[in-house]
């Protein structure tokens, strides 16, 4: 692009620098800024509109005031240039995965009423590195995508129009890159670029509540003692005098109740010399305090801190105050205000499809409404500092919050190497920002200093076939010490991935990272990445016995759920945890079975399901999506609640809940199926096409009507229940096939498909045996071997093995049965043979798949005729030598 210079005054696009309010920055009782009287001491100028944006490195030229930017894209902030993630098996054409430098420019004018004040630019979040210029002068930088930062620009601003240029850099972390030492260095989420949170200009008196404290509010509140009679509130206020004369001032601190009535006030004289910073620590007592009681009663006071010069207020800061006591106990779990309070909730990433990270206060409020609806009482902020608007929502909603530092996956861009000093320093600064900027949120009760900090080396070793463990422990220990020093009122926590798990990423020789922090977080995916669906409970018990003095939280659990992939029986085969398919029904089953174990362990302080929403990542091509982690309970665009959402709502919430599963699986593979749903009703009735099916109880909130016979064609199902005297209902519509035209089963498969012109359902109607898939060995990400000798390779990609049978609903008549088989393991092939029985009669004797096909991983079929009666066909596969193996069953009318 040919950049032509021009007059900034004549042509510059003016930032929307309207004087929103001369007010306190923090207004915890309201999600958006409000108009305030001009007598307020702190002015806030909104700089959200009127920007121009250009992606690409252009040196420092765009910082010049007269730089020509008329061809750049007009944007408003919050803004990100990235667009990541689509529900398709191919990346969308309009995806934007660019990483690098993006430029933003605008002009702003400072009202004459603010002459003589100190001016600070305040950015809530610029990813990942920000460089700032005012009138061509470089005024500051910030390294870290998630923390608020401020820059004193008093000396750079001039009368009239001023130019503002921001360079945002989200370059991929790599050796020699600009972000090599800026955490996170890895992680299963995409670090989007841009000025993706708010930006404003602050105007304050030369003497003010300090704005230079790592982006913090300058006022830090702690309830040191709490009882029914009184609460002692410790208030630490940081002050600074940037003027040229000594100031004799008064700091007035007032605790107000939710209605604005003062309930405690303190006055402290302050003398500030020119250039001096001072810390004032005071204690206030609130009589008969109204406690912040989580979801039951999230009562909020607020603390108004005023710096006065005589009777004139020269600065004011307002912060939330929730009076509560809490503890994490190794045996009793979590206690809030002395009462055992089991915590169950979700993790959340900060992106929405179509918006990415550029969220509005309304987006944050909408996201919190989902958490409230499901009945969660705790939120994990994954895997970084979240927006202040989101934490404000948590305060008001009564959520117990795990707040996290973005020390994720690895401590070095070379994952098995020790962290560089610069990386540690950056992590320490981001941790200070996290704690100080969020210190006053009563909802936050855990500081997380990392997540799976050693897994990057394990992933690297798996991909290369060899490698050394990570060297993350020393860095984690330093961060833990810093967090404890910054805040003695909250415990530290770390989320461990791998200790004592059967995961392929559990590296031999890797040191345990549990026990460094005061609370142990465990990311455990039994029945998904490893183990079986009954594994999480025993694993938690074992780690509790191994670390008996550590409180435990299950920091991640769950499973992926693709909304367009469906299973007739989610126990029919292994899920493709690292690929496709990932049917919605398996997600439901995994969450059901895990929750049954989680809820019965009183020592478990908390559990956070991964994740409330699907989110963007460039590490995954899984389920029915590309660049999306599908473990959310709600779709990336927030339009669809998956079935599992309603299971947890029925389990966690008191709201009357009734939901029939499978509404997205409209065109069914089989005429006979179990109908499943979730409800917190005592009993639920089901009707099909206006006729009653029956009434069932819903143990564990799971309602099942087994073996419901659908009508070929359209079917309308309605469930009804009465809860608290009120009738509720749910309905869905399915289309069923005509079984007289044939029945087709893809053995060992979780998801059916159309092959050879026939519609195969996933594995169903089986008894015994084990569903398996063709694999390339221990690495689940490796491409499986090709099955030869067939034009339907997908049918032979899975199989059922062992001694097993099928009881298949089938109209009475004459049929031709075709059995598809193969030898998946050459070492077993020579000895393998089995016999097939149909309705108790032997139809195939001593069938040896490898011998018949002429080798392993080669398709072979056998057919026979049979008559069915009584509405069913019974097939049995009996081993003769080794196990029976069947890849598919086709039943066609004669």
The rounded distance, in Å, linking the Cα atoms of 119 and 162 is 13
Three-state SS for 739?
helix
Number of C-beta neighbours around residue 305 at 10 A: 25
CB-CB contact of 692 with 682 (8 Å): no
* CB-CB contact of 773 with 781 (8 Å): no
Place of tokens 């009287």: 37
Please compute, for residue 59, the number of CA atoms within 13 A of its CA located in the half-sphere on the CB side: 4
55: β partners: 102
Dihedral, CA of residue 550, residue 553, residue 555 and residue 558, to nearest 10:
130
- Annotated catalytic residue 452: yes
The secondary structure element, H or E, covering residue 437 is: helix 421-438
Strand partners, 52: 74, 105
Gap between the Cα atoms of 4 and 68, Å rounded: 5
In angstroms, the CA 13 to CA 7 distance is: 11
Q: Are the C-beta atoms of residues 315 and 205 closer than 8 Å to each other? A: yes
Q: Is the preceding peptide bond at 79 cis, omega within 30 degrees of 0?
A: no
Report CA 690 to chain centroid distance, whole Å: 41
Token pair listed for 673: 């199926």
- The Cα-based distances of 659 to 582, 695, 820 in angstroms read 21, 15, 38
Distance between CA atoms of residues 508 and 516, nearest Å? 20
Instruction: Write the DSSP symbol of residue 418.
Output: P
With H, G, I as helix, E, B as strand and everything else as coil, classify residue 776. Answer: coil
Q: How many residues does the chain have?
A: 894
CA distance 829 to 857: 10
Cα(758)–Cα(58) distance, integer angstroms: 57
**Choosing from 180, 389, 393, 452, which is the catalytic residue?**
452
Sheet holding 813-821, edge to edge: 753-755, 758-762, 743-746, 888-893, 813-821, 860-868
Structure tokens at 243: 């003027």
Q: What is each CA distance from 94 to 83, 84, 85, 101, 512, in whole angstroms?
A: 8, 9, 10, 19, 43
Bond into 383 cis (ω within 30): yes
Q: How far is the CA of 112 from the CAs of 14, 116, 152, 206, in angstroms? A: 17, 9, 18, 17
Q: Which active-site residues does the annotation give? A: 452
């Amino acid at each position: 692009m040919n950049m032509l210079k021009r007059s900034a005054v004549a042509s510059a696009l003016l930032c929307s620098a309207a004087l929103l309010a001369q007010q306190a920055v923090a207004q915890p009782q309201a999600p958006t800024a409000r108009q305030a009287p001009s007598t307020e001491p702190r002015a806030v100028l909104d700089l959200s509109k009127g920007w121009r944006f250009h992606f690409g490195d252009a040196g420092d030229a765009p910082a010049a005031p007269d730089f020509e930017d008329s061809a750049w894209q007009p944007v408003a902030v919050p803004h990100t240039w990235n667009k990541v993630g689509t529900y398709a098996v191919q990346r969308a054409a309009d995806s934007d995965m660019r990483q690098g430098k993006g430029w933003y420019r605008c002009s702003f004018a400072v009202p004459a009423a603010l002459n003589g004040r100190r001016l600070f630019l305040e950015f809530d979040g610029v990813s990942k590195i920000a460089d700032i210029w005012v009138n061509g002068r470089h005024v500051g930088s910030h390294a870290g995508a998630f923390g608020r930062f401020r820059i004193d620009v008093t000396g750079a601003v001039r009368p009239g129009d001023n130019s503002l240029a921001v360079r945002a850099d989200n370059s991929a972390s790599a050796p020699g890159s600009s972000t090599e030492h800026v955490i996170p260095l890895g992680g299963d989420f995409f670090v989007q670029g841009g000025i993706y949170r708010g930006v404003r200009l602050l105007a304050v008196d030369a003497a003010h509540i300090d704005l230079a404290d790592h982006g913090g509010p300058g006022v830090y509140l702690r309830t040191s003692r709490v009882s029914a009679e009184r609460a002692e509130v410790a208030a630490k206020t940081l002050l600074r005098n940037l003027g040229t004369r000594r100031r004799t001032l008064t700091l007035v601190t007032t605790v107000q109740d939710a209605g604005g009535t003062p309930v405690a006030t303190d006055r402290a004289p302050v003398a500030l010399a020119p250039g001096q910073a001072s810390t004032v620590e005071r204690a206030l007592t609130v009589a008969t305090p109204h406690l912040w009681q989580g979801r039951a009663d999230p009562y909020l006071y607020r603390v108004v801190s005023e710096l006065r010069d005589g009777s004139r207020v020269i600065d004011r800061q307002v912060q939330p105050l929730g009076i509560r006591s809490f503890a994490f106990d190794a045996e009793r779990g979590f206690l809030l205000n002395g009462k055992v309070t089991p915590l169950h909730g979700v993790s959340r990433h900060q992106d929405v499809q179509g918006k990415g990270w550029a969220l509005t206060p309304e987006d944050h409020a909408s996201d919190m409404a989902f958490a409230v609806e499901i009945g969660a009482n705790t939120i994990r902020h994954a895997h970084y500092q979240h927006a202040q608007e989101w934490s404000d929502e948590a305060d008001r909603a009564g959520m117990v919050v795990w707040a996290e530092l973005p020390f994720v996956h690895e401590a070095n861009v070379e994952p098995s190497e020790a962290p560089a000093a610069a990386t540690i320093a950056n992590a320490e600064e981001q941790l200070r920002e996290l704690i100080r900027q969020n210190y006053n949120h009563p909802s936050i009760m855990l500081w997380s200093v990392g997540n799976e900090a050693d897994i990057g080396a394990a992933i690297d070793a798996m991909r290369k076939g060899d490698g050394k463990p990570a060297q993350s422990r020393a860095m984690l220990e330093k961060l833990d010490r810093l967090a404890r020093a910054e805040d003695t009122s909250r415990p530290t926590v770390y989320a461990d991935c791998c200790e004592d798990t059967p995961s392929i990423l559990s590296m031999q020789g890797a040191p345990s990272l549990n026990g460094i922090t005061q609370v142990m977080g465990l990311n455990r995916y039994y029945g998904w990445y490893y183990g079986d669906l009954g594994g999480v409970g025993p694993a938690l018990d074992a780690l509790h016995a191994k670390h008996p003095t550590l409180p435990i939280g299950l920091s991640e659990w769950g499973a992926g759920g693709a909304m367009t992939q469906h299973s007739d029986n989610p126990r029919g085969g292994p899920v493709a945890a690292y690929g496709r398919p990932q049917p919605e029904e398996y997600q439901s089953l995994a969450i059901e079975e895990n929750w049954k174990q989680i809820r019965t362990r009183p020592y478990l302080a908390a559990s956070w399901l991964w994740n409330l929403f699907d989110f963007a990542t460039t590490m995954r091509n899984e389920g029915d999506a590309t660049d999306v982690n599908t473990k959310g309970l709600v779709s990336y665009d927030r339009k669809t609640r998956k079935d599992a959402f309603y299971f947890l709502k029925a389990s966690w919430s008191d709201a009357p809940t009734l939901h029939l599963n499978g509404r997205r699986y409209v065109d069914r593979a089989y005429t006979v199926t179990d109908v499943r749903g979730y409800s917190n009703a005592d009993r639920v009735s089901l009707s099909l096409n206006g006729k009653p099916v029956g009434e069932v109880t819903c143990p564990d909130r799971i309602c099942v009507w087994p073996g419901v016979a659908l009508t070929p064609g359209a079917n309308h199902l309605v469930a009804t229940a009465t809860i608290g005297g009120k009738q509720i209902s749910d309905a869905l519509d399915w289309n069923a096939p005509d079984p007289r035209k044939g029945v087709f089963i893809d053995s060992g498969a979780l998801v059916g498909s159309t092959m050879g012109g026939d519609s195969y359902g996933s594995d169903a109607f089986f008894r015994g045996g084990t569903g398996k898939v063709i694999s390339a060995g221990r690495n689940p990400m490796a491409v499986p071997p090709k099955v030869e000798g067939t034009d339907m390779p997908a049918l032979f990609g899975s199989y059922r093995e062992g001694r097993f049978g099928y009881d298949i609903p089938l109209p009475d008549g004459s049929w031709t049965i075709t059995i598809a088989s193969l030898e998946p393991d050459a070492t077993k092939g020579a000895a393998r043979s089995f016999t097939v029985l149909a309705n108790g009669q032997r139809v195939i004797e001593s069938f040896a798949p490898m011998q018949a096909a002429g080798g392993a991983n080669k398709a072979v079929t056998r057919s026979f005729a049979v008559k069915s009666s009584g509405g069913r066909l019974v097939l049995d596969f009996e081993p003769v030598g080794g196990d029976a193996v069947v890849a598919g069953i086709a039943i066609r009318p004669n």
